[in-house]
Structure 1
């Protein structure tokens, strides 16, 4: 899940970004209203965290211009102001939620996940492939009756693959949505983490959920439904 954070207090912005990344979000930071508006229009995000008091364009103006352009991405407004009129102004302009500083990070995460659920009510509360089940809200993964322990990056990768179950995804798409839109490292980091996942979700259970599609990327399937055309990696990359 990709989130744009528009916050001019850079220390707070970095803190928010670190916390969101630990929860599996891919974060893009912007520190002015103009920069935030550009990112929100030019790129795709699942949700936007938008401060009201910004240099240049205010958060109100950014929001107004986004909605004028029919950008429907859910927006959670942040502000140091605490008053009914400020909240009403934000909601009237098209904000989806509102949080007053200082705020609990636990509450921020809960609000963001609620916005995502409301935006995509058709998406199941749990993601599954056979007896492999991932619960995004509880941050749990289990295969059959066994609960699995994944790192945040492994969890994000598995969630992305499950949300695109049966669909081939490229390494570039994975890097963009699980790492960072501007990831400058080698693409083989994806191969490494696919290997980590295979060791945890497949190898101990005699399953093969992640197909390698030569020259394309990867595809997650329900075990036993593959067409046998893929060239699966062994997942033997040492950690």
Structure 2
């Protein structure tokens, strides 16, 4: 038992000393996928419209790496419109099981068509059809209308692959700032922040 505890502490110490924010994210993400009950890839996405008025919602991370963090959406919905008008965003991962948060901020760019096509092809058929049937974020007079539209799209694409709608694609957030927050007793939390520079990343600590 003592050896297992020591191995866990040694692993935590290595993680806390890591100087690559992407490697640190990967390590925590792997742990979250093992410990979170549902949707370990869920993240809060904060955007603002052209006038700077903010909004936030939960989305799912669908790709990540040193080039950024990817999610997908309808470009004609509210968040898509806000990101196209004001291409900056903030992300927040909150993994309660790990007592950890990660905050990411940076500019946003659309993914290329090949990347969007490849991901769309992995979605369930009903999800693909839903992307065609839904006018995301627009008023819906009654649920029956959406169900009728779904049935019409289902008939339209019967017995053939569902192509990606031209208004549906992904965005990539390229981080300029990444903060790793660790919950500690008595609110004496540990906060590490990485800020992108021309030569790499500057690292520092923040008061809790």
TM-score range, shorter chain: under 0.3
The higher-RCO structure (CA 8 Å, 6+ apart) is: 2
Q: Taking structure 2 as the reference length, what is the TM-score of the superposition?
A: 0.25
Q: Taking structure 1 as the reference length, what is the TM-score of the superposition?
A: 0.23
Question: Which is helix-richer, 1 or 2?
Answer: 1
Question: Which is strand-richer, 1 or 2?
Answer: 2
